[in-house]
Structure 1
């Protein structure tokens, strides 16, 4: 088994790294990595219905879609991510097989952790690890989070979705009480010491293990995958399942109701209703927005080309975009 101690913290790079290693190496692997503040959504989720868009924008937090299913998670430098890649896909859906080493490592620190439910690890009834899997040909990739000293308030704020405005069939994240591993340590250690402890444990308890460092060619190929996929709107937002959005917005000129149907991130139907005034027919704006990306910068480009006040008296582009994006 190859052991990779990855020190890069760019979430786009790290998610691309997983896919690259899964599809281009034949060996079993174990990878440790951390991300800067970011939200990682499951492959089958509607990104907009999982995140607090206001908080994401205000704090410039990247949102990245991963290969595996499951719910959305918040990453920061207080969280360690681990990835197993196995050439035996009989291990698919066997979450205990890959999480047991983590439980055993924590036992060496006098922390009693337990596997719970479908894919979680708990300490004293509180979640510190969520896990997901992805099957590729005859291989399985299992990855999980380890909250060590994560900013729990940031986690809550980034994933605190406003009252339901989305109707879709996407996989919903399940919220749970969470805890940090560091809060349960008998002897304090920092996150990098804990990261070292994990990799050392895997090295000593598995036969035929050796360390592997990403080559220059590996990094070039991973960065290519970042550009083509992981740092694109099409993958992170446009890949969302079909959904409908309903929103209401009150502004000085009146009330507006927003009704949208979106497929693969593209607005397929949009209607405005309300008690607002305007000298021009709002159907002109509706037609302008049809078959365009449900994405803020795209909307801004289109709406800046017209005088919003002609259609919604007393409104401006920012007000209209807020309503269309589901923000109050």
Structure 2
């Protein structure tokens, strides 16, 4: 595995562009590891409605970045006390949604540092009943990103201030506040370390059993391409905020795979526009299902017919098709 040096960049727009550039453009014969620390920012899951996830007045007044990532899952808060890791590997269908596979080496290092860490729930790393990390995945079909965020010394009060957490998510966790169920890794460390020192220990631990350890620094030409991707995509309002449709039917429900929120615009009995949001994880773009449903009559049998050849699990994980169809029609 090759460690990619991000040169200490803390701009979340640029770090997410770098991550996507690596998965799409770097040598497909190699695996890569990327670390980055972001300035205060909210990182939105690919399938979420930004305006419903953030406290816009607060983030405007506190100069907090809002950037959408390419992977699914929920919105997360980053700041200088938050270390983000990303494994870029070949796509393997057996590893999609297999968060245990790529969190194991991170958990192993945390255990070596004295933390009783373990993967629990869908995609969270916990110490006891406290969440210290969330993870997500993205696949191009050939290559994949498995990435996560480690709360090392984050301002946890800002998590509550900057995010709008939906009541259904709070209820599903059985807690009354976000702050009560998250914690910083530094709280469990026997000796105080800076986040830079923690980063070095984590890196050393991840490569402790690897003889072919390499560090790669991008060329000027590669950095130029990353900056172009940042400007075209990650700086754009359309990417970060633009997916907010008109609708006259709206349903949301929490499934085992995550929360689904559908907005449907029906005209003369047919679906004219449909958008599906949520913190679910899927291999394929949910826009494909949306396009299939457009022009279909808005009734259960017609929707079932439109989706008869669709592998729902490719878009949402282990979600039953019949359950999904019931959800679309409010049953």
TM over 0.5: yes
Unaligned runs of 5+ in 2: 169-176, 251-262, 266-272, 274-331
Q: Matches of residues 191-270 of structure 1 in structure 2 within 5 Å?
A: 191-240=195-244
- Sort the Cα spacing of 1:193 and 1:243 in 2 relative to 1 into closer, same or farther, 3 A: farther
Distance of 1:137 and 1:217 partners within structure 2: 26
Equivalent in the alignment of 1:66: 69
Among 139, 143, 147, the residue aligned to 2:147: 143
Distance of 1:244 and 1:209 partners within structure 2: 55
Cα RMSD (Å): 2.4
Distance of 2:126 and 2:144 partners within structure 1: 24
Larger Rg: 1
* SS of equivalent to 1:183: helix
Equivalent in the alignment of 2:306: none
Distance of 1:60 and 1:12 partners within structure 2: 14
Among 36, 39, 42, the residue aligned to 2:45: 42
Deviation at 1:109, TM superposition (A): 1.2
1:45–1:241 Cα contact (<8 Å) kept: no
Distance of 1:236 and 1:98 partners within structure 2: 27
Deviation at 1:163, TM superposition (A): 8.4
Deviation at 1:240, TM superposition (A): 4.3
Deviation at 1:214, TM superposition (A): 2.0
Q: Deviations over 1:111-147 (max 9, x none)?
A: 1101001100001211010000001122221110000
Deviation at 1:5, TM superposition (A): 3.3
Distance of 2:5 and 2:150 partners within structure 1: 15
- Sort the Cα spacing of 1:244 and 1:50 in 2 relative to 1 into closer, same or farther, 3 A: farther
Distance of 2:62 and 2:156 partners within structure 1: 15
Distance of 1:143 and 1:242 partners within structure 2: 32
Deviation at 1:243, TM superposition (A): 5.4
1:203–1:210 Cα contact (<8 Å) kept: no
Deviation at 1:83, TM superposition (A): 0.1
Equivalent in the alignment of 2:326: none
Q: Matches of residues 1-328 of structure 1 in structure 2 within 5 Å?
A: 1-6=1-6, 7-25=8-26, 26=28, 27-90=30-93, 91-160=95-164, 177-240=181-244
How many residue pairs end up in the alignment?
Answer: 241
Deviation at 1:205, TM superposition (A): 2.0
- Sort the Cα spacing of 1:89 and 1:56 in 2 relative to 1 into closer, same or farther, 3 A: same
Deviation at 1:206, TM superposition (A): 2.6
Moved over 4 A (4+): 161-164, 240-246
Distance of 2:181 and 2:246 partners within structure 1: 30
- Sort the Cα spacing of 1:243 and 1:191 in 2 relative to 1 into closer, same or farther, 3 A: farther
Deviation at 1:4, TM superposition (A): 1.8
Deviation at 1:208, TM superposition (A): 2.6
